[in-house]
Amino acid sequence: MKRMPKSQRPSPPLPTRALSSVRADRAARGFTLVELAIVMFIVSLLLGGMLLPLSAQQDVRAYGDTQKILSEARDALLGYAMANDRLPCPASSTSNGVESMSSPGVCTNPHDGYFPAATLGLTPVDSSGYLIDGWGSDSYNRIRYAVTTANTNSFTTSSGMKNTGVTVLAPDLQVCSTGASMANAGNPATAACAAGKALATDAVAVIYSLGKNAGTAGAGTEETHNPNPLATIPADRAFVSAPQGSSSDDQMVWLSKSTLFNRLVAAGRLP
């Protein structure tokens, strides 16, 4: 008898188990499409992340590095105060990162100097000894530092805080959330935030970076209050820490009276 070619033979009936397997297979194929869509969505997100412009990635890193440097600088100030019974004076533009005093306890640049990295042994510094932010190593990338002159320079005079006493000490640096409507701008002792716009009115020290725009901006409503190469308002006791934006990108931290006193009491330097 002649055998029918294999291709023309009727396929044998599928057993029940095989049928259910085919159904399960189809169901599985449906789920795979959904899963595929999810995977494609995730891949598109990942690709989007990878395609984020290199400059944007660098900005994120520079901002983060700067925040870290500012935070470490504030910690170093606390350590210095505990060890030396006073705060350091800011460095001047010619002191190569060393604190600058005209006489013991009297700072030459209390409100418009630089962080005294050489005095505190902090890094990263530029070739002249100044602490620099994460945005570059030009002179305008140097970290700025201001210290209160209140109570006749008690905070920068050795044992000055102890001799004056915690109940009398009244540090006077102000940090405002906006530069608009500030009072007495340019007056070292009386400059003040607009009503309801003060983030701090009794800060001991303010540490800040001029941000990404350091080399080209700083003359706007907010940044003009923070000493920088383009500021038009003379240095005073009030600073502006406005939300990050196109008109303001200065990054700022400050040392509160409470934090300083807490550490000095713990170290046995006060009361």
Q: Site residues (CB under 5 A) for Ca ion?
A: 210-211, 213, 223, 225, 236, 238, 249-250
Residue 201: is it exposed, middle or buried by C-beta count within 10 angstroms (0-12/13-18/19+)? middle
In the chain, which residue ranges form alpha helices assigned H by DSSP?
Answer: 16-50, 54-84, 117-120, 150-153, 160-164, 257-266
Nearest distance in Å: CB 130, Ca ion: 17
Residues paired with 148 in a beta bridge: none
- Whose Cβ is closer to Ca ion: residue 99's or residue 250's? 250
Nearest distance in Å: CB 66, Ca ion: 11
Nearest distance in Å: CB 243, Ca ion: 13
- Whose Cβ is closer to Ca ion: residue 81's or residue 176's? 176
Is there a contact between 129 and 97 (Cβ–Cβ < 8 Å)?
A: yes
State the amino acid at position 98 in one-letter form. V
Nearest distance in Å: CB 246, Ca ion: 11
Please state, in angstroms and as integers, the Cα–Cα distance from residue 40 to each residue in 18, 37, 253, following that order.
32, 5, 43
Bridging pattern class, strands 251-256 and 173-176 = unpaired
- Whose Cβ is closer to Ca ion: residue 124's or residue 215's? 215
Residues paired with 205 in a beta bridge: 147, 255
Nearest distance in Å: CB 85, Ca ion: 28
Nearest distance in Å: CB 227, Ca ion: 7
- Whose Cβ is closer to Ca ion: residue 99's or residue 112's? 112
Q: Which two tokens stand for residue 124?
A: 């990263």
Instruction: Give the C-alpha separation, 74 to 107, whole Å.
Output: 18
Instruction: Give the C-alpha separation, 225 to 231, whole Å.
Output: 7
Give residue number: closest CB to Ca ion. Answer: 211
Q: How many residues belong to the chain?
A: 271
- Whose Cβ is closer to Ca ion: residue 99's or residue 223's? 223
- Whose Cβ is closer to Ca ion: residue 122's or residue 238's? 238
